[in-house]
Amino acid sequence: MARPLIAIPARFSASASALRYAAEVSARQLIEGVYAAGGEPLVMHPDGSDVTDRLGWADGVLLPGGGDLSGRWSGQGSHPTLYDVDEEQDAFDLAVASFALSQGIPLLSICRGTQVVNVGRGGTLIQDMDSHDSQIKHHRHHVHDVTVEESRLRGIVGQGVEVSCYHHQCIDRLGSDLVVTARSEEGVIEAVEMPSASGFYVGVQWHPEADETSRLIASVVEEARVRRAESGRA
């Protein structure tokens, strides 16, 4: 049986080891996680073309982490702490997320990817956790516990789990049709789902490729395998 094809938008990078010029990259652990789970990871070049044509082959989508999302998309404006902002990257990721959800393509969003989904559905972000609330600190290089509500996510990772995070932004106002499925001890939203979506969708603020919740990656690959079989492409 052929491996299900998992689309992963590349990340623009000003430099990369062994390359002379700017690069497009994807996290090795993420790629290896998809492959180990039986999927075929295919990294996509982010550009302004219509994703309707470009994503027609995808059995699943993994929307990864990366730099900060521009505040223009949520109407919040810029913030001095934002870094690696690229509106071309933003526009592509927003289009990919919207298309995957509208077409029922299995989707797993990670860190920035989950913020993209939230903003794309009309939500907002806390643009810098440190300066927003003295009770909430950034989650860079931060390993902590999260509590998972009754949800699809709980069926995958359990009720309580230790996760690895790297972010200084987080969800503030929730986007339409999204529900919170996990929080940190201080109340930060750590996972969301969209029960009204016609296909699998789980979004997490942490990095499952870096901890024991890597079975999340296996879950989206399995959902993609089912979709591929149902479409007659097995």
CATH topology for 5-230?
Answer: Rossmann fold (3.40.50)
Tell me what pLDDT residue 234 has: 67
- Active-site residue 165, yes or no? no
Q: Of 190, 193, 209, 222, which is the active-site residue?
A: 209
- Active-site residue 207, yes or no? yes
Question: Please, are residues 177 and 160 in contact by the beta-carbon 8 Å criterion?
Answer: no
Tell me what pLDDT residue 144 has: 85
Q: Of 139, 167, 168, 207, which is the active-site residue?
A: 207
Count CA atoms within 13 Å of residue 177 on its CB side.
13
pLDDT (tens digit per residue) in 68-88 = 999 999 998 888 777 788 899
- Active-site residue 111, yes or no? yes
Residues in the chain with pLDDT values less than 50: none
The DSSP code for 60 is E
Q: How much is the pTM?
A: 0.93
Q: Of 111, 139, 165, 170, which is the active-site residue?
A: 111
What does the alpha-carbon distance between residue 31 and residue 40 come to, in Å, rounded to a whole number? 9
16 phi-psi bin (left φ>0, alpha ψ -120 to 50, beta other):
beta
Tell me what pLDDT residue 207 has: 92
Q: Match 């999204």 to its residue by tokens.
A: 178
What does the alpha-carbon distance between residue 121 and residue 170 come to, in Å, rounded to a whole number? 15
